[in-house]
Copies of this chain bind each other. A is one copy, B any other.
Amino acid sequence: MNRFCQIFDVKSPIIQAGMIWCSGWKLASACSNEGILGVIGSGSMYPEVLEEHLTKCKRSTDKPFAVNLPLIYPQVDDHIELIEKHKVPIVITSAGNPAKWTARFKDSGIKVIHVVSSRKFAMKAELAGVDAIVAEGFEAGGHNGREETTTLCLIPDVRKAISVPLIAAGGIGSGRAMLACLNLGADAVQIGSRFVASEESSAHQAFKAKVLEAKEGDTSLTLKELTPVRLLDGSFAKDVREAYQRKADPEELAKLLGRGRAKKGMFEGNLQEGELEIGQISSMIDDIRPAAEIIHDLLLEFQVARDEQFTAERYMF
């Protein structure tokens, strides 16, 4: 049996990514109820908000779910206490050193998955004792690595370097892409952008509508001098481009970015001033649907793509 499913007690080897402003208790519990690992994105939540989401999530599903915890989060200690208090079974750490917290989580009986974007940090995470590793490619939405390695190149390389279960992330929004990543050696996949455009996501309707319009080439990785982030084209992305054209320095870029732009764009639907974080695969998203339907169709496509290898003419050579 798939070891990711075994370790994390889920039916299908899929993680719904814990995305800031998009992944609250509604999306997480809907995904967990459908047999994948639902995740609450705590990076955009104050501790009291996280506690509310934890309570509601536990009320809405009896299946395992996880909390995504950026380790650079200012009130990370409060979040960790809440995760322990509410006996969250799995935590997905990112943006920080896993060596610092992994032992504490494990001592509390919490399983740890760590997110990396390079082979080097995958090896460090394994040494820190994590239970599984998400390797996320350049095409992913939101914050991203500096190496710019794509999922197609990153997964086989990380697979060679570590032995714990490996979850592929970045550019995966379909059953075909899931199959491709398993072919490359991943044990599971993490899917973000596709769930932004779900009914249960807490993204603002205006942002969801904008995601449906996205075409190939409409996102770009930018603000690399601060923290690299993949943004959907729009008013703020244009301001950033113009800042680069006038050769703005990092201080000016930081000032332009300011604070709260992600909330403004993704949660409040302010398409002019807000930051719109989404992956390249947004070009293939054409509808907003319930998470359960998205998962159902994705698994169906996975199966079709698998079977097709014995009937489709392109495999006959």
What residues make up the interface of A, taking CB atoms closer than 8 Å to B? Answer: 1-5, 11-13, 118-120, 137-139, 147-154, 156-158, 160, 170-172, 174, 176-177, 179-187, 215-217, 220-221, 247, 279-281, 283-284, 305-306, 309, 313-317
Task: Assess whether B221 is in contact with A2, with CB atoms less than 8 Å apart.
Answer: no
Distance in angstroms between the alpha carbons of A153 and B280 in the assembled complex? 7
Most B CB within 10 A of own CB, among A147, A154, A160, A217: A217
Our pick among B1, B139, B317 for the contact of A317 (Cβ within 8 Å) is B1
List the B side residues contacting A216 at CB < 8 Å: 118-120, 147, 149, 153-154, 157-158
List the B side residues contacting A177 at CB < 8 Å: 152, 156, 184
Q: What is the distance, in angstroms, from A115's C-beta to the closest C-beta of chain B?
A: 16
Our pick among B171, B184, B315 for the contact of A176 (Cβ within 8 Å) is B184
Task: Assess whether A171 is in contact with B150, with CB atoms less than 8 Å apart.
Answer: yes
Task: Assess whether A151 is in contact with B152, with CB atoms less than 8 Å apart.
Answer: yes
Task: Assess whether A5 is in contact with B317, with CB atoms less than 8 Å apart.
Answer: yes
Task: Assess whether A119 is in contact with B152, with CB atoms less than 8 Å apart.
Answer: no
In the complex, residue of chain B having the shortest beta-carbon distance to the beta carbon of A249:
B247
Can you report 18 residue pairs joining A to B where beta carbons are below 8 Å apart? A1-B313, A2-B316, A119-B283, A137-B150, A138-B139, A139-B150, A139-B153, A149-B280, A150-B150, A150-B152, A152-B177, A153-B280, A156-B174, A180-B184, A182-B315, A186-B314, A187-B314, A309-B309
Our pick among B4, B139, B158 for the contact of A152 (Cβ within 8 Å) is B139
List the B side residues contacting A184 at CB < 8 Å: 176-177, 180
Most B CB within 10 A of own CB, among A4, A12, A151, A152: A152
Distance in angstroms between the alpha carbons of A104 and B244 in the assembled complex? 43
Our pick among B180, B215, B280 for the contact of A183 (Cβ within 8 Å) is B180
Distance in angstroms between the alpha carbons of A284 and B156 in the assembled complex? 8
Task: Assess whether B171 is in contact with A153, with CB atoms less than 8 Å apart.
Answer: yes
Task: Assess whether A119 is in contact with B217, with CB atoms less than 8 Å apart.
Answer: yes
Task: Assess whether A182 is in contact with B283, with CB atoms less than 8 Å apart.
Answer: no
Task: Assess whether A215 is in contact with B119, with CB atoms less than 8 Å apart.
Answer: yes
Distance in angstroms between the alpha carbons of A279 and B181 in the assembled complex? 19
List the B side residues contacting A137 at CB < 8 Å: 150, 152
